[in-house]
Chains A and B, each alone.
Chain A
Amino acid sequence: DAGITQSPRHKVTETGTPVTLRCHQTENHRYMYWYRQDPGHGLRLIHYSYGVKDTDKGEVSDGYSVSRSKTEDFLLTLESATSSQTSVYFCAARRDPSTDTQYFGPGTRLTVL
């Protein structure tokens, strides 16, 4: 499982509130990713990081920001949550730089009311 944990595992919040999801890894992976999973869309990349303080946007980055101040933690922030951001969020890390295989955390189910 590449030593990836996510917190919280479940969260219910209200529209307009800020939310931060945390991804923590213990195996010194350089590359980390945030995805959201929605019915009919599969997994879509939100943001990714290729090193401490190095991040870039994915295909659905609007309304999200990320930060990576140390190798083990990758934070996803919804500055002002909207109902369209209700989803299951997965963090992933790439263990071996010679392959593209990513290993996923257990997910965070976020509900925005």
Chain B
Amino acid sequence: DQQVKQNSPSLSVQEGRISILNCDYTNSMFDYFLWYKKYPAEGPTFLISISSIKDKNEDGRFTVFLNKSAKHLSLHIVPSQPGDSAVYFCAASARMTNFGNEKLTFGTGTRLTIIP
């Protein structure tokens, strides 16, 4: 049972445009969400996170939006740059339920390609 879903395996976006990556979750106990970026032959790197008490978090070109009623989050990258080409994973945890023992559940990833 995939509790965190990234339904788009790949996405291509023109350089300078907005990239929107989507993620859906089914577990209503999830209350903390993260995005990671992964380049080939490297480990995932943390990008941005959001707590369920917020609906938006912004860090430079990256913004994460959370819609709790729809159990949906999205990552916006504006403007997109060639260096953003990577695989993006969303992840979720249930902090209040598993306090002291938090684990992350990851989606399957979306490969983003920025076209120059």
Query: Do they bind each other?
Result: yes
In the bound complex, residues from chain B placing their C-beta under 8 Å from that of A103 are 46
CB of A26 closer than 8 Å to a CB of B: no
A60 CB within 8 Å of chain B: no
Q: Give the Cβ gap from B101 to chain A, nearest Cβ, in Å.
A: 6
**A78 interface contact, C-beta 8 A:** no
Within 8 A of B (CB), among A1-36: 1, 4, 31, 33, 35
> What is the bound-complex CA distance between A44 and B6, given in angstroms?
15
Interface membership of chain B positions 1-32, coded 1 if the CB is closer than 8 angstroms to chain A and 0 otherwise:
00010100000000000000000000000001
Interface stretch of the complex, out of B63-71, B73-81, B104-112: B104-112
- Is B41's beta carbon under 8 Å from chain A? yes
- Nearest-neighbor residue (CB-CB) of B107 within chain A: A42
Chain A residues with Cβ under 8 A from B56's Cβ?
Answer: none
Q: CA separation between A42 and B104, bound complex, in Å?
A: 12
| Chain B interface residue number, banded | 20 to 34
Bound complex: CA A42 to CA B92 (Å): 13
Alpha-carbon distance between A65 and B29 when the two chains are bound, in angstroms: 29
Q: Give A102's nearest chain B residue, CB to CB.
A: B104
Q: 18 other contacts beyond A100-B102, A103-B46, with CB at 8 A cut-off? A: A4-B43, A35-B106, A40-B108, A41-B108, A42-B4, A42-B6, A42-B108, A42-B109, A43-B91, A56-B101, A58-B103, A94-B102, A100-B34, A100-B95, A100-B104, A104-B43, A106-B42, A107-B42
Complex Cα spacing A72 to B101, Å: 19
B41 touches A44 (CB 8 A): no
A104 touches B95 (CB 8 A): no
0 or 1 for each of B82-97: is its CB under 8 Å from A? (1 = yes): 0000000101010100
Tell me which of A1, A4, A45, A100 contacts B32 (CB under 8 A): A100
| Residues in B whose Cβ lies below 8 Å from that of A74 | none
